[in-house]
Amino acid sequence: MNALAGLGVIILDEIVPPRAPWSHRVRKGQTLRIIDLEGNQSADFLMYATADDTERYSAQDTIAAQRNVYLREGSMLYSNEGNPMALITGTDVAYHDTIGGACSCESNTLRYGFHTHSHHACVENFLTANLRHGRGKRDMVSNINWFMNVPVEADGTLGIVDGISAPGLHVDLLAQMELTAVVSNCPQINNPCNAFNPTALRMVIAGQM
Smallest distance, Zn ion to C-beta of residue 133, A: 20
Least separation in angstroms between residue 115's CB and Zn ion is 18
Q: Between 122 and 203, name the residue whose CB sits nearer to Zn ion.
A: 122
User: Which residue, among 34, 90, 70, has the nearest Cα to 149 in the 3D structure?
Assistant: 70
User: Is 186 near Zn ion (CB under 5 A)?
Assistant: yes
Residue among 173, 172, 167 at smallest CA distance from 201: 167
Distance CA 150, CA 205 (A): 27
Q: Considering only residues 188, 201, 204, 205, which one is a binding residue for Zn ion as defined by CB under 5 A?
A: 188
122 contributes a contact to Zn ion by CB under 5 A: yes
> In the window 84-113, what residues touch Zn ion (CB under 5 A)?
103
Across the chain, where does the E strand assignment appear? 10-16, 21-26, 31-36, 43-49, 76-78, 84-91, 144-146, 169-175, 179-185, 201-206
Distance in Å, CB of 51 to Zn ion, minimum: 29
Residue 77 makes contact with Zn ion by CB under 5 A? no
Nearer to Zn ion, 103 or 205 (CB): 103
Q: How big is the chain, counted in residues? A: 209
Which residues would be at the binding site for Zn ion (CB under 5 A)? Answer: 103, 122, 186, 188
